[in-house]
Amino acid sequence: MKLRIGSGVVRLVAATAACLLCAALAKGQNATQEKPLMADQVFKNVQVLKGIPVDEFMGTMGFFAAALSLNCTECHTADAINDLKEYATDTPLKQTARRMVLMVRGINQNYFGGKAVVTCYTCHRTSSMPKNVVSLVEQYNTPAEDPNEVQLETNPPPGIATPDQIFDKYIQALGGAQKLASITSYTAKGTYQGFDTSDETVPLEVYAKSPSQSTIIVHAKLGDVIKTFDGRSGWNAMVGGLLPLLPLSGGDLDGAKFDASLFFPAGIKQYLADWRSSFPSTEIDDRPVQVVQGMTASKTPIKLYFDAESGLLVREVRYRPTAVGLIPTQVDYSDYRDVSGVKEPFHWVMTWTDGKSTADLTDVQLNLPTDASKFNKPKVN
């Protein structure tokens, strides 16, 4: 199922990365995992970010943009907006960025055992210039709490619900284990608005098949944007992108696999490992939520936020490791409606470093026959 940054980031970084609408994608039976493309095999003049997959490379560009509030052409040449080859041209800011990457890498190696404790965001915090003067406003005013930043407590207070208790309430809120176990397919239509449609509202189709295959098709004016996961491999296909077909890897692939599972929530307890719920109390939109965190196979955390009263899932936060730090992706779910005795969210909002996308469903149907070809690797011209 599921910034402060300039609009240039949304149009340029996001367009080339084709960052997964809800990467709500999934799992097939006989697929083989596609080998990811490496950045230095695809792009020219890559110097300090060699040997990482293309989608991680693009995520790293998004990390730079978000940390400094700069768009693509503020680091690359202005000509790059019309000629993609110009992204390889060196500029003073690109050269500075390389030095900063090496500096941060050295700090983390020398003082934190190689963990990405210090990142671009540590000093820049959405400013092109790092702050070096104390802010009295920040010191003496209570900052707004960000529920995404809550951390597991070593000694949690008594009475915190266990992951099993939270999941059981969620399953019951959706319609019960027996009803959920009967779902074999999911089909939806609606509208989509986001970076890849220039914020225009366009038609949307969603297909999912148990155990967790799925495809999302956004009918953008310049051509369809397709997000597919066939069970082991995933792709983003986008007309006019730097790479028309971008294979997913690492945390993007983990996120796609987990999100696909949410179409079939009966087995949610088995989708991740090491579930934990010892988080401090927090709220989303002034409503108390219960937080559960699980770990993917590659040890990347995913947090789930459940409304404390209704038990319904209202937010997911997952993370993509990049060469310079973790990139968060937030997916919010709301407008739950009854579909054949099961509650389904009809409103999805995805927020990440490169922009924001909104899906509003108008028709959701369960257990319709679904052609297996819907989940094939997308074909691009």
pLDDT of 106: 96
C-alpha distances (whole Å) from 185 to each of 22, 145, 189, 263, 290 are: 18, 38, 14, 8, 29
For the chain, the average pLDDT equals 88
Please, which pLDDT band fits residue 32 given cuts at 50, 70 and 90? low
Out of 168-182, 221-235, 324-338, pick the least confident: 221-235
As a whole number, mean pLDDT of residues 81-90 equals 86
Please, which pLDDT band fits residue 302 given cuts at 50, 70 and 90? very high
pLDDT of 225: 93
Q: Which residues lie closer than 8 Å to 314 by C-beta, 6 or more apart?
A: 284, 287, 289, 305, 306, 307, 332, 333, 334
Its domain, for residue 126, covers 1-140+150-381
CA angle 255, 244, 362 (to 5 degrees): 60
Query: Per DSSP, which regions of the chain are E strands?
Result: 185-193, 202-209, 213-220, 223-229, 234-238, 245-247, 273-276, 282-284, 287-295, 301-307, 313-322, 325-339, 342-352, 355-366
Determine phi and psi for 308, rounding to 5 degrees: -65, -25
Is residue 170 a part of any domain in this protein? yes
Is residue 314 a part of any domain in this protein? yes
The answer to whether 52 touches 96, Cβ cutoff 8 Å, is: no
Q: Is the pLDDT of residue 18 over 70?
A: no
Is residue 189 a part of any domain in this protein? yes
Count CB neighbours of 282 within 10 A. 16
pLDDT of 19: 36
pLDDT of 6: 39
Is residue 145 a part of any domain in this protein? no
Is residue 135 a part of any domain in this protein? yes
User: Which CATH number fits the domain that encloses residue 15?
Assistant: 2.50.20.10
Out of 126-135, 145-154, 214-223, 240-249, pick the least confident: 240-249
Instruction: Give the whole-angstrom CA distance, residue 1 versus residue 150.
Output: 24
Total domains present in the chain:
1
Q: Which of 358, 359, 353 is nearest to 6 (CA)?
A: 353
pTM across the whole model: 0.87
As a whole number, mean pLDDT of residues 176-191 equals 97
